[in-house]
């Protein structure tokens, strides 16, 4: 799936002037380190101040329905400078975006025992996954 084409003006409207300016500086300085697309989801890593790495996720349905999440502590407006930098990267460097199949397609290739093994390995490495799995199971009524 191609990422919807959005303009600088749309990104600036989403972010506000200050976040847009800072995000443009980050983009132009090469702070966007990696960008991966899986279907309508983008995952990116942006180098912040003091070389701290921030994870940015962009979800989209179309050019009017774009949302971003970033691991930075920004809470002063709709989107942060790291998200702006990623959106600008998508606009100006689409050929550098690594394409991968959606995770559903990847999991569909595994059998039940492989999925179980994968989930156990990931939960062992990331204990917060265990909590998410337990919450999901409770919502399902098990």
78: nearest Cα among 18, 26, 33, 25 = 18
> What domain range includes position 65?
8-100
The reported pLDDT for the residue numbered 71 is: 96
Check whether residue 47 and residue 116 sit in a common domain. no
Q: CB burial class (10 A; 0-12, 13-18, 19+) of residue 91?
A: middle
Asked whether residue 131 is assigned to any structural domain, the reply reads: yes
Check whether residue 72 and residue 116 sit in a common domain. no
- Model confidence, pTM: 0.81
Asked whether residue 78 is assigned to any structural domain, the reply reads: yes
Q: Confidence band (pLDDT; 50, 70, 90) for 11?
A: very high
Asked whether residue 51 is assigned to any structural domain, the reply reads: yes
The reported pLDDT for the residue numbered 115 is: 94
Check whether residue 57 and residue 88 sit in a common domain. yes
Check whether residue 16 and residue 34 sit in a common domain. yes
Check whether residue 70 and residue 133 sit in a common domain. no
Check whether residue 79 and residue 37 sit in a common domain. yes
What ranges make up the beta strands (E) of 1-142? 32-38, 41-47, 53-62, 65-70, 98-100
Q: CB burial class (10 A; 0-12, 13-18, 19+) of residue 1?
A: exposed
Which two tokens mark 44? 């990116």
Contact (CB, 8 A) for 45 and 103: no
Check whether residue 76 and residue 128 sit in a common domain. no
User: Residue 15: which residues within 8 A CB-CB, separation 6 or more?
Assistant: 23, 77, 78, 79, 80, 81, 83, 84
Find tokens 């399902």 and name the residue. 140
Q: pLDDT at residue 40 above 70?
A: yes
The reported pLDDT for the residue numbered 63 is: 64
Segment 44-60, tens digit of pLDDT: 999 998 889 999 999 98
Check whether residue 66 and residue 23 sit in a common domain. yes
CATH of the domain at 28: 3.10.110
User: Based on the structure, what is the number of domains in the chain?
Assistant: 2
Asked whether residue 1 is assigned to any structural domain, the reply reads: no
Check whether residue 23 and residue 73 sit in a common domain. yes
């Amino acid at each position: 799936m191609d990422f919807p084409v959005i303009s600088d003006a749309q990104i600036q409207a989403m972010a506000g002037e200050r976040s847009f300016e800072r995000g443009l500086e980050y983009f132009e300085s090469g702070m966007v380190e990696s960008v991966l697309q899986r279907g309508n989801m983008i995952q990116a890593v942006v180098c912040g101040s003091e070389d701290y790495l921030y994870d940015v996720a962009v979800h989209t349905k179309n050019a009017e329905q774009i949302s971003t999440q970033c691991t930075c502590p920004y809470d002063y407006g709709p989107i942060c400078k790291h998200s702006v930098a990623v959106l600008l990267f998508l606009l100006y460097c689409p050929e550098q975006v690594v394409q991968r199949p959606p995770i559903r397609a990847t999991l569909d290739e595994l059998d039940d025992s492989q999925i179980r093994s994968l989930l156990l390995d990931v939960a062992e490495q990331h204990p917060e996954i265990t909590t998410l799995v337990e919450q999901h199971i409770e919502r399902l009524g098990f």
